[in-house]
Structure 1
Amino acid sequence: MFNDLLLKYARLAVIKGINLQKNGLLIINSPIDCSEFARMISNEAYKAGASDVVINYNDEKFTKIRLTNSSIETLSFTPDFERDRYDYYVKKGAAFLTISASDPDILKGIDSKKISAVQKSRRTALKNYFEAVTANKNSWCIVSIPTEGWAKKVFSEVSSKEAIEKLWDSIFTVMRIKENDPIEAWNKHINVLHQKVTELNAHKFEYLHFTNSLGTDLKVELVENHIWCGGEDTAEAGFKFIANMPTEEVYTTPKLDGVNGIVFSSKPLSYCGNIINNFSLTFKDGKVIDYTAETGLDILKQLLDTDEGSKSLGEVALVPYNSPISNSNIIFYNTLYDENASCHLALGSSYPSCIKNGENMTKEELLKAKANDSLTHVDFMIGTKDTNILGVKKDGTQIQIFKDGNWA
């Protein structure tokens, strides 16, 4: 039974997630602990007609050893062959599937400057790759499966074996793998998200006003000619794919200099092997001018200092409190899951697809359109059961979008 569910999951990721095309090249980025599932995905990819599959394994335990023992100078260097490899994949039209399953505490205690150095170096070296997936030139998809470190963080009160079993059960449920036909179940779900996208696009809001009992009081202007997206994306070649699985969000682009007020986090943020928790960000004219954090303040500082764009927002996303992941009452300590349980914002780069004709704009044109540019894109959760969101149009008309955490 378990193996049947795994095979369903692997097939879903290939057929519905990245929507691998005939004779397509698939690149799988996977933790070494997830090798069995990565191989299952590769087998399904070949069944679907892949010309080839490449698996890139990473080992977070070795990463910790390297970060502990290497100098910042060493960690700030990414070899050219790594850049060239990903540039080649992008030019070949490869599809990219990432398995996200890290231990949220794996890098706790590591010098935050070393973590930042690695992140910044890699994002700079692989800039073409990150820009390609952000602009949907290539199809891409992120999925997750349990690892011991992650499962024990989520279910700390039970044994490792039971924690892994409980996390598998949660993932299978949220991912609709237990349905007779997961692909058909996802088709229905995507249609629901598309209905919300259509409704929001019809309103052409000038700004959104978020409030809740945590103290959030934030106005987020939207770029002119913004587009709400959600569910499926469209690759440059014209076919559909789902970038995040699971997904419950509809999202668009904030105006670079149009965010003002204060926002409080509603869930912990797992970032670079560390937890940032109970934090707040104060914005003025689109920039973070003050911030606090109960846990992980130094990590939050490093995130904000990544570059000039990391202090501004690149995404605003709406997720109802009454959603499958939220209703599980589980904090997953994994952004892929937690962001789909809560309205969220993202520090860093914007998605060109959320602006009319954005995929055909140059970086300079996107900046002129007031979209943000950054080496990073980090989602953090802000939604609560009493979140209210007003949408305000240019003529002053106000529409209640969310009331008490859900669609109004």
Structure 2
Amino acid sequence: MTPEQLNIYAELAVRQGINVQPGQKVIVRGPVDAAPFVRKAVEKAYEAGAAHVMIDWTDDDLLRIRMANAPEESIDFVPQGYVDDFIGTMEEGGAMLGIYAPKPGHLTGIDAARIGKYFQALGKAMRRQRDLQQASKTSWSMVMLPTPEWAAVVFPDLSPEAGMTKLWDHIRYITGLDQEDPIAYWQEKVEQIESRAQWLTHEQFLRLHYTGGGTDFSLELPRGHIWVGGRLTDANGTKYLPNIPTEEVFSAPVRTGVNGVVKSTFPLEYSGQLIEGITLKFQDGRIIEASAEKGEAALKEMISADDTAQFLGEVALVPQDSPISNLNIIFRNTLFDENASCHLALGSAYPLNLQGGQEMTREELAEHGLNTSIIHVDFMIGSAELDIDGEREDGTRVPLFRNGNWA
């Protein structure tokens, strides 16, 4: 990554991603391996007028050391001071930029129960953060950086140097950094996504029916549901782009209205572990059977995070004919793979997917059919075989997807 590329990417993340406003506090969460980019993002935040930038450093290697060696009685310890500082900044309207430099499977070989215990404790401690993000109370965004470990997984036949170069080239293409004006590129792109979301919201389909690629199920949508895509708007009216890149339009299903079988079509990287070949059977919303060809113990830990982790919180539509999908590469990273494939999410729903939902309590959201949980995990089910129909109140069906693309 050249200094100029670093500069443009940081500018995009700060100006188009979290869209920092003068006088706003900012949290930048980033890995120590990506320190040059983290520093550049902080610089851009201050240039945009940030009052203060809080740095939340992460280190996958240190996390592995802890998961492997910490005493069992302390594996679920989360410092309260950290929680208070992070959530307190967000409650004051602070923006949050998440910078990720993946090391796929970096916790492979560690006892899944120990990993699950830690991430359940972290999820509970940071639940208020998830609530603020999912209600769009303040701006937040996520961006990705290449790592040698990630490049080796995506391009195993290339040398480390060639793999990093190719991965970075793909990231530049996917994020629009190769465009003459990346910010203008995203403004035009999100307008197209928002138009599709507005149409779906207007239609107010009662159910969606999925068939193909081993998936055969239906899900009910709540009355007054909202489809969202592209930009979001925070409590102060600031528009921001939560994911760079993004291709999806998404909404929330009725918690108890999901029935049938879904089969994943991409690997899932969850809490440092790889899960592949997921098959889930739903009845009245709850998972009644769950299996995976690889990483089944991690899958079982994930869906037992709390009493509601076995219900769906999100339904997202993404065409096969999209920039990421057309690369025909499995990135083994959810932020990229979910924007190449239709997907679902286990766990909590976004309150912004329901009329008036952003002002509702968890109990009120549940009364309207939305799920709440300490997890929100996307998994991909899209394929060139997938067909989706929207069912209206009168029972008529409208083709939405055929062979993986918008009909």
Length-normalised TM-score, structure 2: 0.98
Aligned to 2:348: 349
Q: Which runs of 4+ in 1 moved over 6 A?
A: none
Aligned to 1:79: 79
**Is 2:3 the partner of 1:3?**
yes
3-12 vs 237-246, which deviates more?
A: 3-12
On the 8 A contact 2:280/2:290 being kept in 1, the answer is: yes
Q: Secondary structure at the match of 2:236?
A: coil
Give the CA deviation at 1:49. Answer: 1.1
Aligned to 1:250: 249
| Distance in 1 (alpha carbons) for counterparts of 2:322 and 2:145 | 20
| Distance in 2 (alpha carbons) for counterparts of 1:36 and 1:151 | 19
Q: Secondary structure at the match of 1:341?
A: coil
Give the CA deviation at 1:291. Answer: 1.2
124-133 vs 202-211, which deviates more?
A: 124-133
Give the CA deviation at 1:106. Answer: 0.5
Aligned to 1:205: 205
**Is 2:26 the partner of 1:22?**
no
68-77 vs 383-392, which deviates more?
A: 68-77
Aligned to 2:133: 133
Give the CA deviation at 1:3. Answer: 2.4
Give the CA deviation at 1:2. Answer: 3.0
The superposition leaves residues 333-372 of structure 1 with CA deviations (integer Å, 9 ceiling, x where unpaired) of 1100000000000000000000001001111110000100
On the 8 A contact 2:90/2:96 being kept in 1, the answer is: no
Aligned to 1:54: 54
| Distance in 1 (alpha carbons) for counterparts of 2:171 and 2:36 | 17
Q: How does 1:81-120 map to 2 (within 5 A)?
A: 81-120=81-120
Q: Secondary structure at the match of 2:278?
A: strand
Give the CA deviation at 1:167. Answer: 0.8
Give the CA deviation at 1:257. Answer: 0.2
Q: Secondary structure at the match of 1:278?
A: coil
Q: Secondary structure at the match of 2:257?
A: strand
| Distance in 1 (alpha carbons) for counterparts of 2:147 and 2:88 | 31
Give the CA deviation at 1:175. Answer: 0.4
**Is 2:149 the partner of 1:170?**
no
**Is 2:222 the partner of 1:223?**
yes
| Distance in 2 (alpha carbons) for counterparts of 1:357 and 1:92 | 22
20-29 vs 309-318, which deviates more?
A: 20-29
The amino acid of 1:362's aligned partner reads: T
| Distance in 1 (alpha carbons) for counterparts of 2:289 and 2:175 | 37
| Distance in 1 (alpha carbons) for counterparts of 2:380 and 2:13 | 25
Structure 2 unaligned blocks of 5 or more: none
The amino acid of 2:169's aligned partner reads: D
Aligned to 1:332: 331
Aligned to 2:179: 179
| Distance in 1 (alpha carbons) for counterparts of 2:392 and 2:2 | 50
On the 8 A contact 1:102/1:273 being kept in 2, the answer is: no
The superposition leaves residues 71-110 of structure 1 with CA deviations (integer Å, 9 ceiling, x where unpaired) of 3321112121122112321232110000122211110010
**Is 2:397 the partner of 1:392?**
no
Structure 1 unaligned blocks of 5 or more: none
Give the CA deviation at 1:32. Answer: 0.8
| Distance in 2 (alpha carbons) for counterparts of 1:84 and 1:44 | 25
Cα RMSD for the two superposed structures:
1.0
Q: How does 1:147-158 map to 2 (within 5 A)?
A: 147-158=147-158
| Distance in 1 (alpha carbons) for counterparts of 2:129 and 2:291 | 33
Give the CA deviation at 1:203. Answer: 1.0
| Distance in 1 (alpha carbons) for counterparts of 2:153 and 2:283 | 35
| Distance in 1 (alpha carbons) for counterparts of 2:230 and 2:351 | 16
Aligned to 1:261: 260
Question: Among the aligned pairs, what percent are the same residue?
Answer: 42
On the 8 A contact 1:350/1:373 being kept in 2, the answer is: yes
Paired residue total: 407
The amino acid of 2:368's aligned partner reads: A
| Distance in 2 (alpha carbons) for counterparts of 1:76 and 1:44 | 35
Aligned to 1:296: 295
On the 8 A contact 2:313/2:346 being kept in 1, the answer is: yes
The amino acid of 2:102's aligned partner reads: S
The superposition leaves residues 252-289 of structure 1 with CA deviations (integer Å, 9 ceiling, x where unpaired) of 00000000000000100011111100110000000000
221-230 vs 313-322, which deviates more?
A: 221-230
Length-normalised TM-score, structure 1: 0.98
21-30 vs 335-344, which deviates more?
A: 21-30
Aligned to 2:146: 146
The amino acid of 1:255's aligned partner reads: V
The superposition leaves residues 303-332 of structure 1 with CA deviations (integer Å, 9 ceiling, x where unpaired) of 011011110000000000000000011111
382-391 vs 41-50, which deviates more?
A: 41-50
